[in-house]
Structure 1
Amino acid sequence: MASPNKLAHVVLKTGQLTTMTEWYLRVLEGRVTFANDALAFLTYDDEHHRVALIATGATEQPGDGHTGLHHAAFTYATLADLLGTYQRLSAEGIRPFWCINHGPTTSMYFEDPDGNHIELQIDNFATEEALYEWFGSGAFEANPIGTQFDPDDLVRRFESGESFDELVKRS
Structure 2
Amino acid sequence: MTSHPTVGHVHLRVADLDRAIAFYRDILGFDVTQQSATAAFLGAGGYHHHIGLNTWDSLNASPPPAGHTGLYHSAFLYPDRASLGTVLCRVAAAGITLDGAADHGVSEAVYLRDPDGNGVELYRDKPQAEWPRNPDGKLAMINARLDVQAIMDEAP
Query: Do both share a fold (TM > 0.5)?
Result: yes
Sort the Cα spacing of 1:155 and 1:25 in 2 relative to 1 into closer, same or farther, 3 A: closer
TM-score (normalised: structure 1): 0.75
Aligned residue for 2:20, secondary structure, equals: helix
Matching residue of 2:58: 57
Per the TM alignment, residue 117 of structure 1 is displaced from its structure 2 partner at its CA by 0.9
Any residues of structure 2 matched to 1:81-160 within 5 Å, and which? 81-124=83-126, 126-127=127-128, 130-131=130-131, 134-136=132-134, 146-155=143-152
Matching residue of 2:46: 46
Give the superposed CA RMSD: 2.6
TM-score (normalised: structure 2): 0.81
- Size of the aligned set, in residue pairs, is 151
Q: Give the gaps of 5 or more residues in structure 1.
A: 160-171
Matched residues in 2 for 1:145 and 1:116: separation?
24
Matched residues in 1 for 2:135 and 2:81: separation?
24
Sort the Cα spacing of 1:137 and 1:106 in 2 relative to 1 into closer, same or farther, 3 A: farther
Contact map agreement 2:80 2:124 (CA 8 A) in 1:
yes
1:33-84 Cα deviation digits (max 9, x unpaired): 1111221111122210110011022623245411121111111111111112
Contact map agreement 1:82 1:122 (CA 8 A) in 2:
yes
Code of the residue aligned with 1:146 in structure 2: it is N
Sort the Cα spacing of 1:145 and 1:65 in 2 relative to 1 into closer, same or farther, 3 A: farther
Per the TM alignment, residue 20 of structure 1 is displaced from its structure 2 partner at its CA by 0.9
Q: Give the gaps of 5 or more residues in structure 2.
A: none
Matching residue of 2:74: 72
Contact map agreement 1:28 1:44 (CA 8 A) in 2:
no
Aligned residue for 1:70, secondary structure, equals: coil
Sort the Cα spacing of 1:2 and 1:154 in 2 relative to 1 into closer, same or farther, 3 A: closer
Sort the Cα spacing of 1:65 and 1:47 in 2 relative to 1 into closer, same or farther, 3 A: same
Amino-acid identity (%): 29
Code of the residue aligned with 1:57 in structure 2: it is S
